[in-house]
Amino acid sequence: MSKRNESFKIERIPLEDNPDFNAYLDQQYDPVEIEGGQYKPSEVLNAVDPDAYRSALEEYRNHQAEQFQHAIFDEFPNPIAYNYYKAMRGYENERQRLDCLRDAWEALIYLLYAIVVGEFRSLGLTFDGAKVFTGPTQQKPLHFEHFMSDKINDKIGIMEGLLRQAADQGVKLVCADLVKDDVLTALRELNRKRNGFSHSSALSEREAQDQFISSAEIFLALLRRVADLQSIRLFRYQRSASHALECRFEDFSGHATTRKFNTLTLNTAQFQKCAKYLNPDTIVIKIGESIYGVSPIVYFVQRGGDSRLCFYKQNRNGQYLYSVVGESEQVPILEKTIADQFAALRELCH
């Protein structure tokens, strides 16, 4: 081969770097038979035409990315899906786009926090001896005041502390497979980025765009790590359907804010464990086969004929202030249900 042709030689992508793509190719095409031997289509394409292999891989990855984006829009819990959809499809300028992305990852943090605390409580565990991890080597005893804090870093620290305490006690939390150490690390990184631009002076359009690009890459990678969120169900019980074990519920999945309803059939064991959460004043989650409440951290307000989810933010002068998905103002929730649920949370801290 001439030196000129050598300079245009396509460097092969190592075959072992993309096992999922190779499996996809091998399912699409029949094995190649040569002199009585059979060779996988992925191996042949990579060997004889690395440029075609690279192009097909790029097309495959782009299709995967598009599918995952639609899964976020349509199947992830509403607080994440709604804000991410706005960041990708419904923004007016780059600063608003960045703010929508920030709201999406804050929703992720609050939801994961509610999932961990909710499961811990549902198992009848107490918070005695638990820690709040404020950094890799920094920790402090968990007190009820930490649950009332408006600091996002406290939410992440509580998650880590409860997951560690459960593990130390030999208790397997279902949510531990969702909220792993690398997820907690990524949440802290996003929170640092949030603090950086939220507390800075007004960003230019170019600065906001740069912040969005770098943050969106981290956030999307994080959503891939917690992709199982698309299979959980966040809902509010309405009534029994055709029989006691069939529940009609308001479903909070996908980016749309219009009300939608579904039914869920429980087995007897599930019903006995979760019956206390099946009321219109509690937001409930189904993760795997486990069903439990995530209120008072997650609650709801009525907007016209629709229900909007909201997250507890802070207690100010005795008022429980919540951030409503899609709204910029914090609103007070005055229902006695909220006060009672916070009182129950306090009891677990003794």
194 in any annotated domain: yes
pLDDT at 51: 94
Q: How many angstroms separate the CA atoms of 13 and 153, rounded?
A: 41
| Angstrom distances, CA of residue 18 to CA of 25, 27, 58, 116, 261 | 11, 14, 11, 34, 40
Residue 222 and residue 109 share a domain = yes
Which of 172, 197, 231 lies at the terminal end of a domain, its last residue?
231
Residue 48 and residue 33 share a domain = yes
Residue 172 and residue 89 share a domain = yes
Residue 123 and residue 34 share a domain = no
6 in any annotated domain: no
248 in any annotated domain: yes
Q: How many domains does the chain have?
A: 3
pLDDT at 2: 44
Residue 160 and residue 63 share a domain = no
The token pair at 38 is 């059979």
pLDDT, one tens digit per residue, over 284-332 is 999 999 999 999 999 999 988 889 999 999 998 889 999 999 998 899 9
Do residues 300 and 310 make contact, with C-beta atoms less than 8 angstroms apart? Answer: yes
Which of 208, 231, 254 lies at the terminal end of a domain, its last residue?
231
Residue 314 and residue 277 share a domain = yes
pLDDT at 34: 87
Q: How many angstroms separate the CA atoms of 280 and 302, rounded?
A: 12
pLDDT, one tens digit per residue, over 73-100 is 999 999 999 999 999 999 999 999 999 9
pLDDT at 199: 64
Instruction: Tell me the Cα Rg of the chain.
Output: 24
2 in any annotated domain: no
Residue 97 and residue 142 share a domain = yes
Residue 58 and residue 183 share a domain = no
120 in any annotated domain: yes
74 in any annotated domain: no
pLDDT, one tens digit per residue, over 39-69 is 999 999 999 999 999 999 999 999 999 999 9
Beta bridge partners of 332: 321
pLDDT at 200: 65
Residue 148 and residue 125 share a domain = yes
Q: The domain containing residue 331 runs over which residues?
A: 233-347
Q: Which residue has the higher pLDDT, 94 or 241?
A: 94
pLDDT at 5: 47
Residue type, 11: E
Which of 69, 89, 110 lies at the terminal end of a domain, its last residue?
69
For residue 26, is pLDDT > 90?
yes
Report, as an integer, the average pLDDT of 139-166.
Answer: 94
pLDDT at 84: 97
7 in any annotated domain: no
Q: How many angstroms separate the CA atoms of 303 and 288, rounded?
A: 30
Torsion, CA 199, CA 203, CA 224, CA 111, rounded to 10: 40
Q: Which residue has the higher pLDDT, 17 or 241?
A: 17
Please tell me whether the overall predicted TM-score, pTM, comes out greater than 0.85 for this model. Answer: yes
Residue 308's φ and ψ, nearest 5 degrees, are -120, 130
For every residue of the chain, which 3-state class applies, written as one string? CCHHHHHCCCCCCCHHHCHHHHHHHHHHCCCEEECCEEECHHHHHHHHCHHHHHHHHHHHHHHHHHHHHHHHHHHCEHHHHHHHHHHHHCCCCHHHHHHHHHHHHHHHHHHHHHHHHHHHHHCCCCCCCCEEECCCCCEEECCHHHHHCCCHHHHHHHHHHHHHHHHHCCCCCHHHHCCCHHHHHHHHHHHHHHHHHHCCCCCCHHHHHHHHHHHHHHHHHHHHHCHHHHHCEEEEEEEECCCCCEEEEEECECCCCCCCEEEEECCHHHHHHHHHHCCCCCEEEEECCEEEECCCCEEEEEECCEEEEEEEEEEECCEEEEEECCCCCEEEECCHHHHHHHHHHHHCCC
Residue 112 and residue 213 share a domain = yes
| Angstrom distances, CA of residue 22 to CA of 29, 178, 224 | 11, 27, 20
Q: How many angstroms separate the CA atoms of 94 and 87, rounded?
A: 9
Residue 128 and residue 57 share a domain = no
Q: What's the mean pLDDT when you consider all of the chain?
A: 91
1 in any annotated domain: no
pLDDT, one tens digit per residue, over 194-214 is 777 766 668 889 999 999 999
In the chain, the percentage of residues whose pLDDT exceeds 70 is 96
Residue 304 and residue 285 share a domain = yes
Q: How many angstroms separate the CA atoms of 118 and 155, rounded?
A: 13
